[in-house]
Structure 1
Amino acid sequence: MPDFTREQEHGGRVAGVDEVGRGPLAGPVVAAAVVFAAGVPDDLAAIIDDSKKLKPRLREQIAARLPTVPGVEIGVGAASTLEIDDINIHHAAHLAMQRAVGRLPRLPDHVLVDGNKAPDFGCSTQTLVGGDHLSLSIAAASIIAKVVRDRIMARLDARWPAYGWEKNAGYGTAVHRQALTTVGVTPHHRRTFGTVRRQLELLQKEGRA
């Protein structure tokens, strides 16, 4: 389980940053930044974990509680499918992270980032591979980002129901890939991603794109 050790080692206002949505074929990449300026309540620390390990209901419960924690600060940022196609998913994820930190009330003293690379936040930064397993701030950020992105995909699903986005969050499941073949490519698909790009090329050959 993640803990608060690294935040306490740095001192000051430490933000944990994580992103969600690098792999899907559709939708934005979303990042969150979380600062526990007054620490983490014990009962909350006991249930915060990597968002991928938590059931949807628990993620929603944690995400709803986090803004009520004394001293907590939350920033959320995203990069659109157009930006992903324009600057690639790696740089788009970093852009979403920068936007998330930029939406905190003020610049933190230090940023902990999940992964092995980080963008420039204008303050000292440390990358942590598997950070959502190590840092409560990063794990909390992963939960916020996941909940926000899942809600976005659920709203898009209401308009584009054939792709199953409410359930697959834009990942390339069998249902999603089949819909690409039968229904086609939407404005929310990442056109530079191989599966989508190949489908576009096929449609162009058939004169349907």
Structure 2
Amino acid sequence: MPSRRFCRPDNMQATLNWHAPGLMAGVDEAGRGPLAGPVVAAAVILDDARPIAGLADSKALTATRRERLYDEICAHALCVSVAQASVQEIDEHNILQATLLAMARAVQGLRLKPARVLVDGNRLPVLSVPAEAVVQGDALVQAISAASILAKVTRDRWCQQLHADWPHYGFAEHKGYGTARHLAALAEHGACPQHRRSFAPVARALAAKSTIAA
């Protein structure tokens, strides 16, 4: 049984030896690794009286199944909240801090205040309620699984919209990850406004285009 945690300002964990009574929210993110776009986080408080079958780590589900579960979660959960940190915030603060910021915003956006929060991974955002970081929580805790699905579907839909504006990068296909096609498009076209300038492949592409232009 993992120990309970609360978040300290330095994002480290300190042990709590009890379960806070009341509502529990699960939190997860999508979009830490891609070269473009915001990082998206979701917080979900499930309704024990309305269980949702098939919840799992979003990465283990097909896109069609994620979309169906997205609708079920929004319809049956007690409350949900989706938030993000922008490309500008990622470049200014770094991807870890931007991820924690998006997670904190997602929890703050919940209509109901949870008594405790379970966060996927090994780092915690700064929160005003007791929280625990759960490694592989998206596969172990249903509320975190639900949050992972909301975050993933939201970000994938954003990539579809971005593809309409910048089709030569292939965002609908690779969702912003550094695939061979994406890197080739960066080399040919440079970066679009939604590329993360602080990420090395984007920085290299911009430097190469500047060298050619000079």
Cα distance change on mapping 1:90 and 1:39 into 2, 3 Å = farther
In structure 1, stretches of 5+ residues that fail to align are 1-8
- The match for 1:33 among 36, 43, 51 is 43
* Distance across 1 between alignment mates of 2:22 and 2:194: 40
CA deviation after TM superposition for structure 1 residue 203, in Å: 1.5
* Distance across 2 between alignment mates of 1:105 and 1:98: 14
1:103-130: CA deviations, max 9, x gaps?
Answer: 1013211000001110111100000000
Cα distance change on mapping 1:172 and 1:39 into 2, 3 Å = farther
- The match for 2:85 among 76, 79, 101 is 79
- The match for 1:110 among 88, 112, 116 is 116
Instruction: State the one-letter code of the partner of 1:148.
Output: T
* Distance across 1 between alignment mates of 2:109 and 2:200: 32
Corresponding residue pairs, total: 196
CA contact (8 A) 2:27 2:148 kept: yes
- The match for 1:63 among 56, 60, 70 is 70
CA contact (8 A) 1:14 1:37 kept: no
* Distance across 2 between alignment mates of 1:15 and 1:68: 16
* Distance across 2 between alignment mates of 1:35 and 1:202: 47
CA contact (8 A) 2:44 2:144 kept: yes
* Residue equivalent to 2:134: 128
* Distance across 2 between alignment mates of 1:65 and 1:170: 27
- Classify the secondary structure of the residue corresponding to 2:213: coil
Runs of at least 4 residues of structure 1 off by over 3 A?
Answer: 37-40
Q: Report 1:179-194 matches (<5 A).
A: 179-194=185-200
* Residue equivalent to 1:174: 180
In structure 2, stretches of 5+ residues that fail to align are 1-18
Instruction: State the one-letter code of the partner of 2:138.
Output: D
Cα distance change on mapping 1:160 and 1:204 into 2, 3 Å = same
Instruction: State the one-letter code of the partner of 1:28.
Output: P
- Classify the secondary structure of the residue corresponding to 2:98: helix
* TM-score normalised by structure 2 residue count: 0.88
- Classify the secondary structure of the residue corresponding to 1:206: helix
1:5-30: CA deviations, max 9, x gaps?
Answer: xxxx6541100000000000001100
Instruction: State the one-letter code of the partner of 1:38.
Output: D
* Distance across 2 between alignment mates of 1:51 and 1:188: 24
* Distance across 1 between alignment mates of 2:191 and 2:176: 12
* Distance across 2 between alignment mates of 1:97 and 1:202: 35
The percent identity for this pair of structures is 46
